[in-house]
């Protein structure tokens, strides 16, 4: 019997997706869903949905839930992290304060001011979760779905020796989108991809052994097609490879598209295609609407859909439990198992990278990629440096490391001076201090004194 424990299950829509995937997997006929969340109301909704799905599918699964993770962790085989830490209370600060300084974000959950402060709120809770995992389920394989993905995996890998695999659908969804543009069944495309999460790259893309990138470049000249994903098509045209996140996300991860209002007007489009403040303006409503849809499904409204989706967790579990090999993309430390070799040769050793992995009854096996093209590796390298500084800040309670991370952020550094970046950081800390580690509210002199004494 398999036990899957979801931390942050109050994100009921995503917990529903994960449970539906497992219940739709023939090779996982029996098991336990253990749901954990600090919000008892949203946790109860997720529990009710789980019971509903089990009843409708007739599968031999049981469901348990608790606001105390220590109650649910023992016996866990697969621990899944989906936490959201004080996002609703701070999503406006994450967008509005940077905007005052000219930092125009679309999503703001991975890098930049929004991504940084999301990490500073999230990672302390993540470290506590991992400490409990080591105590209560030391044999569990850990999957992370929480953003910022690379930072969450990196910080976790520095505080525990349990295996952590970051799972993201961005590469899969990107290839599906490209297949649609090309008019080719996605199952007939072969590709290679690697990089850092949300800024990985489709390096090779073939159909029946023929390179289809020339065809993509032709399609990029068609305004009706280019407009559907303008920033990514422009990136491909100029840099030679298609990035693996939406135009809205991608526009925040480099210095090219959002550093001036005229560039935002030229390249950004509605929604996930680059709309300013799209996440801050809509996410609270989306969450409430998603919960209401689930409640209606439970009370006899539109039935909750039961169909296996594209998220990797159920496929990995099936492959391990039944020795049914499959391939997925994972976010892991840049170190080949059992050696000092890197998975991506020209990204830093130990940084979190996104690479293909094979899965079978013996586990998850990340595969070496080789080297990225130098210019793409350079763009990713800045992200790994940002990640390194933020992880150091959290683990060592080093305020300056967090400030320096924001100073090297590609978009922020393209817009603001060093003094402006520090002022923005201080303003965001003041606005969010109720939800942040105490060390971030220290004065510069207090922080310097503490760090100096620690390092001496």
C-alpha angle 91/97/101, rounded to 5°? Answer: 140
Q: What does the alpha-carbon distance between residue 282 and residue 90 come to, in Å, rounded to a whole number?
A: 13
Kindly calculate the radius of gyration of the chain based on its CA atoms and give it in whole angstroms.
22
3-state secondary structure the chain: CEEEEEECCCCHHHHHHHHHHHHCCCCCCEEEEEEECCCHHHHHHHHHHHHHHHHHHCCEEEEEEECCHHHHCCCCCEEEECCCCCHHHHHHHHHHHHHHCCCCCCCCCCCHHHHHHHHHHHHHHHHHHHHHHHHHCCCCEEEECCCCHHHHHHHHHHHCCCCEEECCCHHHHHHHHHHHHHCCCHHHEEEEEEEECCEEEEEEEEECCEECHHHHHHHHCCHHHHHHHHHHHHHHHHHCCEECCCHHHHHHHCCCCCCCHHHHHHHCCCHHHCCCCHHHHHHHHHHHHHHHHHHHHHCCCCCCCCCCCCCCHHHHHHHHHHCCCEEEEEEEECCCCCCCCCCECCCCCCCEEEEEEEEECCEEEECCCECCCHHHHHHHHHHHHHHHHHHHHHHHCCHHHHHHHHHHCHHHHHHCCHHHHHHHHHHHHHHHHHHCCHHHHCCHHHHHHHHHHHHC
**CA nearest 116: which of 399, 368, 324, 330?**
399
Mark whether 387 is an active-site residue: no
In the set 169, 207, 336, 381, the catalytic residue is 169
Q: Active-site residue numbers?
A: 169
């Amino acid at each position: 019997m398999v036990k899957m424990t979801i931390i942050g299950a109050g994100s009921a829509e995503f917990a529903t997706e994960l449970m539906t995937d497992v219940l739709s997997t023939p090779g996982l006929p029996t098991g336990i869903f253990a749901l954990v969340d600090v919000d008892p109301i949203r946790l109860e909704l997720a529990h009710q949905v789980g019971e509903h799905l089990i009843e409708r599918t007739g599968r031999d699964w049981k469901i348990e839930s608790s606001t105390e993770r220590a109650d649910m962790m023992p016996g866990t085989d697969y621990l899944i992290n989906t936490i959201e830490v004080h996002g609703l209370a701070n999503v406006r600060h994450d967008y509005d304060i940077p905007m005052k300084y000219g930092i125009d974000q679309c999503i703001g959950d991975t890098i930049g001011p929004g991504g940084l402060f999301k990490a500073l709120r999230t990672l302390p809770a993540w470290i506590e979760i991992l400490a409990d995992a080591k105590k209560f389920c030391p044999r569990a394989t850990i999957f992370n779905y929480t953003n910022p993905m690379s930072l969450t995996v990196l910080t976790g890998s520095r505080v525990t020796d349990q295996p952590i695999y970051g799972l993201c659908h961005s590469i899969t969804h990107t290839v599906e989108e490209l297949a649609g543009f090309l008019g080719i069944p996605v199952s007939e495309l072969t590709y290679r991809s690697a990089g850092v999460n949300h800024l990985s790259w489709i390096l090779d893309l073939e159909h029946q052994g023929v390179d289809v990138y020339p065809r993509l470049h032709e399609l990029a000249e068609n305004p009706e097609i280019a407009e559907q994903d303008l920033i990514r098509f422009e990136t491909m045209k100029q840099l030679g490879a298609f990035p693996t996140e939406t135009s809205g996300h991608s526009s925040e991860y480099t210095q090219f598209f959002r550093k001036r209002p005229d560039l935002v007007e030229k390249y950004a489009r509605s929604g996930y295609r680059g709309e300013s403040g799209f996440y801050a303006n809509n996410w609270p409503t989306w969450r409430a609407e998603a919960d209401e849809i689930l409640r209606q499904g439970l009370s006899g409204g539109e039935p909750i859909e039961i169909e296996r989706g594209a998220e990797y967790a159920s496929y990995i579990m099936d492959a391990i439990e039944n020795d049914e090999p499959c391939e997925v993309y994972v976010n892991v430390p840049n170190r080949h198992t059992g050696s000092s070799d890197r998975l991506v040769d020209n990204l830093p050793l130990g940084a979190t990278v996104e690479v293909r992995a094979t899965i079978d009854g013996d586990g998850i096996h990340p595969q070496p990629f080789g080297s990225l093209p130098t210019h793409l590796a350079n763009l990713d390298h800045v992200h790994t440096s940002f990640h390194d500084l933020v992880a150091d800040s959290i683990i060592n309670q080093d305020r300056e490391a967090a400030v320096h991370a924001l100073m090297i952020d590609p978009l922020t550094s393209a817009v603001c001076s060093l003094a402006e970046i520090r002022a923005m950081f201080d303003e965001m800390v003041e606005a969010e201090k109720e939800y942040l580690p105490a060390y971030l509210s220290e004065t510069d002199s207090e922080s310097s004194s503490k760090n100096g004494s620690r390092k001496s």
